[in-house]
Structure 1
């Protein structure tokens, strides 16, 4: 039998130490619970970021609200705050119970970041936040802006002239590039988006329409990021947004938790010891789900349990957390091809920053096949009339998996949650979809119908 050496150990040793690896290598769906999961108080001792950092990010977004309202009138109803609805999906919940013959205890909601203004995905949080933070710093450096100003003044030739002397670069599988490209171009920056092979054509076309320079690669996400970083290193006026390591992206995402708490309060949904919250977050490199998890943990402590979700062909965060190697290991090291229709999640190597920061705060990770994503996409359209892109369905099967996988049941027992599940709230985080062109979405729905017809 072929027994290669991987990261200093024989494959057989890896498999003995981490039996789940066998299933992962065979690209089967798995549900892993984190043995390092710890109470918030203990986990925070190892984390340098604080609630103060998240609140600082929230205040910055509020300062920019007048500008956002001015240049994106569709945000006026939210007074320039880019936020998404939180909606019950009871029809979909019933559909899941029938499809998988598995009862789901508790209420099920969808957090529709798929419908965020400006760029239609969760990346409108972190991506846009980091661009705005950089724009604010430059404007202050040039003596054009102070925190007391009405930030709508940024929408002027004076500011655009300054920003046009600077550039912003990013590496992306799609949605991050979209959010950063759209916002940076609006402000007047020169923008370079390095796109991996997985990026959908319509996303590249839309960026070019906005005046963004899109550089395409035939390889995966890691190469796109590496090339973006190299480009920025050569130009002192170019700012590189580093999806793998950025604290600013992370904090932009973390603000979402504070907005979510208000939505839950408005819906009279209580989260406490007797009413646990479970959140299922699609994961690429880890920044988006990582930031949201951090914010939720700060607010709800040990009463919230966050699970990351990855495609069966790209389980990079799971591999990094499980082995403790984080960004020192990639799925390709184990012969997993990192090819998935879930373009935003097509990442082979996880963020070391996120993995190490949240090592004790992530409850677990499960994987989902592309077939499941398409089937769920069609069912979401049929039951709730909500249109999502494939990767955004990854969280929707979370409550089902929590109850149907033995490791999920063990998690519930180990954390003393078995008697509280009827009062639980489950939130699937829908990460993108509203900007998908109509003809592409019709293809997605049709594909899901075919899969369902063949008893996926």
Structure 2
């Protein structure tokens, strides 16, 4: 179908192609649906958590910033009451229930949600190679991975990835620390400071004039030409997906420690920024496994890059690009500047996801400034899309726990954050 036929078939697309902030409720959601996949289930999530536990002694020594969490890559859960009050004032609504921020912007090593999936896949790859060469046993202390002989072995292998920024950062930092050769194909919207940081860490950065989808395609082609290369596929990787899903087990523990029970009378509503879909999809799947019908997950996308919304609404998934609808895929939210969604994730989300809403660049700037003013927390533009979830997803009257997932921001240079803040303040005053 061409653009006009798609809009006629799916009238809700009219607002989307008009670049208006919109909300789509998923008509296929079925809380009783169970994904039938031998590789993705609760046992696989628990196995991923066990692998991260095995690597904890190594990470604790290799990255001193993980000492406080004993080598685990985890972030705090924080109530943001002052921001909630301002959100209610700006949108003239009352949000029933408490609003929390899941602070993945301060995750150790790479300062974004990609530390969950990206780093996990690198660790999984390293473990498989070391076990294959019989230089490591699963019941050993993984501190030995820091030995030079092991790094020399891993240096024979190359990791290749396509990225808009944060995934490349997580894989570049972790891969180089372990000894791998790392090549990151960066799309045209990747921030210069992220490319510079990757180069500082020793990764090879290949810049493309096209968008994320082409960067991924080129990275895949490169890896296929070398049997010692491994391509980390943000669109299709089940390993990445499971790394993200572990977050659900961790969140359950944090809620338990805070004395918060998730049940029919106190459901959990979660708002997740979405690019190609791997990170938010993995987390949403994990949350569904842990909390069942008592969790409601929503994806947040830029008005100029609503790839998952378009893919799921039309059920074309990765067979449609936002540019097919005349949408330019240009947004300040570099981590979400993706034109074609993961078909794998979209299909997994069909019975799980509650809905998707879109946020304009101007709204992102304003949310960024408000969060700094009210809570002293600085997020990158892509991450603040989660903050307006209760309003945009129309859940303000739902009693329970509202949770905005902060996907990145702590590594943004001060000058860039200050510029974004000033843009937000200027927009607030107009």
TM-score calculated relative to the size of structure 2: 0.98
Which residue of 2 is the match for residue 445 of structure 1?
A: 421
1:272 maps to 2:248: no
Q: Aligned with 2:72: secondary structure?
A: coil
1:257, 1:210 → 2: CA distance? Answer: 30
1:248 maps to 2:239: yes
Q: Aligned with 1:146: secondary structure?
A: coil
User: Aligned-pair distance for 1:99?
Assistant: 0.7
2:19 to 27, 32, 47: 27
User: Aligned-pair distance for 1:45?
Assistant: 4.6
1:146, 1:220 → 2: CA distance? Answer: 41
1:401 to 377, 392, 396: 392
User: Aligned-pair distance for 1:10?
Assistant: 4.5
Aligned-residue CA RMSD (Å): 1.2
Q: Residues 101 and 404 of structure 2 are in contact (CA less than 8 Å); yes or no, is this contact kept in structure 1?
A: yes
Which residue of 1 is the match for residue 135 of structure 2?
A: 144
1:332, 1:14 → 2: CA distance? Answer: 13
2:411, 2:2 → 1: CA distance? Answer: 45
User: Aligned-pair distance for 1:18?
Assistant: 1.1
1:222 maps to 2:213: yes
Once the two structures are overlaid, the 10-residue window that deviates more, 13-22 or 365-374, is 13-22
Q: Aligned with 2:75: secondary structure?
A: coil
Q: Aligned with 1:171: secondary structure?
A: strand
1:122, 1:447 → 2: CA distance? Answer: 25
Which residue of 2 is the match for residue 384 of structure 1?
A: 375
Q: Aligned with 2:188: secondary structure?
A: coil
1:215, 1:12 → 2: CA distance? Answer: 37
Q: Aligned with 1:214: secondary structure?
A: strand
Q: Aligned with 1:208: secondary structure?
A: helix
Aligned residue pair count: 430
Q: Residues 43 and 361 of structure 1 are in contact (CA less than 8 Å); yes or no, is this contact kept in structure 2?
A: no
1:236-281 CA distance string (max 9 Å, x none): 0011000110000000000000000000111111100111110000
1:81 to 72, 76, 79: 72
2:251, 2:415 → 1: CA distance? Answer: 32
Q: Give the 3 Å change call, closer, same or farther, for CA 289–190 of structure 1 in structure 2.
A: same
Q: Residues 83 and 374 of structure 2 are in contact (CA less than 8 Å); yes or no, is this contact kept in structure 1?
A: yes
1:118, 1:46 → 2: CA distance? Answer: 31
Which residue of 1 is the match for residue 309 of structure 2?
A: 318
Q: Give the 3 Å change call, closer, same or farther, for CA 379–20 of structure 1 in structure 2.
A: same
Unaligned 5+ segments in structure 2 are none
Which residue of 1 is the match for residue 29 of structure 2?
A: 37
Q: Residues 103 and 400 of structure 1 are in contact (CA less than 8 Å); yes or no, is this contact kept in structure 2?
A: no
1:128 maps to 2:119: yes
Q: Residues 46 and 357 of structure 1 are in contact (CA less than 8 Å); yes or no, is this contact kept in structure 2?
A: no
User: Aligned-pair distance for 1:13?
Assistant: 3.0
1:284 maps to 2:275: yes
Which residue of 1 is the match for residue 90 of structure 2?
A: 99
Q: Residues 398 and 428 of structure 1 are in contact (CA less than 8 Å); yes or no, is this contact kept in structure 2?
A: yes
1:154 maps to 2:130: no
Which residue of 1 is the match for residue 101 of structure 2?
A: 110
User: Aligned-pair distance for 1:42?
Assistant: 2.3
Q: Residues 307 and 366 of structure 1 are in contact (CA less than 8 Å); yes or no, is this contact kept in structure 2?
A: yes
2:192, 2:311 → 1: CA distance? Answer: 30
User: Aligned-pair distance for 1:400?
Assistant: 1.5
1:14, 1:230 → 2: CA distance? Answer: 32
2:225, 2:3 → 1: CA distance? Answer: 40
2:4, 2:337 → 1: CA distance? Answer: 27
User: Aligned-pair distance for 1:49?
Assistant: 1.6
Unaligned 5+ segments in structure 1 are 1-8, 410-417
Which residue of 2 is the match for residue 189 of structure 1?
A: 180
Q: Residues 314 and 346 of structure 1 are in contact (CA less than 8 Å); yes or no, is this contact kept in structure 2?
A: yes
Q: Aligned with 1:42: secondary structure?
A: coil
1:315, 1:16 → 2: CA distance? Answer: 18
1:12, 1:437 → 2: CA distance? Answer: 43
Q: Give the 3 Å change call, closer, same or farther, for CA 446–170 of structure 1 in structure 2.
A: same
Which residue of 2 is the match for residue 6 of structure 1?
A: none
User: Aligned-pair distance for 1:440?
Assistant: 1.0
Q: Aligned with 1:432: secondary structure?
A: coil
Q: Residues 79 and 99 of structure 2 are in contact (CA less than 8 Å); yes or no, is this contact kept in structure 1?
A: yes
2:35, 2:225 → 1: CA distance? Answer: 37
Once the two structures are overlaid, the 10-residue window that deviates more, 83-92 or 48-57, is 48-57
1:167-205 CA distance string (max 9 Å, x none): 000000000000000000000100000000110011000
2:298, 2:30 → 1: CA distance? Answer: 14
Q: Residues 20 and 30 of structure 1 are in contact (CA less than 8 Å); yes or no, is this contact kept in structure 2?
A: no
1:165 maps to 2:181: no
1:67 to 58, 69, 86: 58
Q: Give the 3 Å change call, closer, same or farther, for CA 46–163 of structure 1 in structure 2.
A: closer
User: Aligned-pair distance for 1:44?
Assistant: 3.1
